[in-house]
Amino acid sequence: MVTVPLNQETLMILSISGVVLLGVIVFLFFRKDGLKASHALVCALFGFYLAGTAVAPSIKAGGASLASLLGGINF
């Protein structure tokens, strides 16, 4: 297993990429699957408030672990 050291700049890039990816998914759900704007707002508020709870570090660590795993894949 290859470990990739993640510094603060790398984590920021991954966070922004994750936000953009999730935003595109929400947009596609909104356009194609009938996601209502109110549902998207509730999801965004849920994520915002979830980030302030005690479970946030675990979610962040899981995201960093997934990013490290994906970063270690060689094509």
Q: Which residue has the tokens 């660590």?
A: 61
pLDDT tens per residue across span 22-45: 778 878 887 887 878 888 888 888
The percent of residues in the chain predicted with pLDDT above 70, rounded, is: 77
* Residues 63, 20, 12: CA angle, nearest 5 degrees: 50
Question: Is this prediction's pTM over 0.85?
Answer: no
Count of other CB atoms within 10 angstroms of residue 11: 14
Q: Is-contact 68 3, C-beta < 8 A?
A: yes
Q: Which amino acid is at 16?
A: I
Q: Which pLDDT score, from 0 to 100, does residue 1 have?
A: 45
Q: Which pLDDT score, from 0 to 100, does residue 16 have?
A: 65
The percent of residues in the chain predicted with pLDDT above 90, rounded, is: 0
Residue 53, SS3 per DSSP: coil
* Confidence label for 2 from pLDDT (cuts 50, 70 and 90): very low
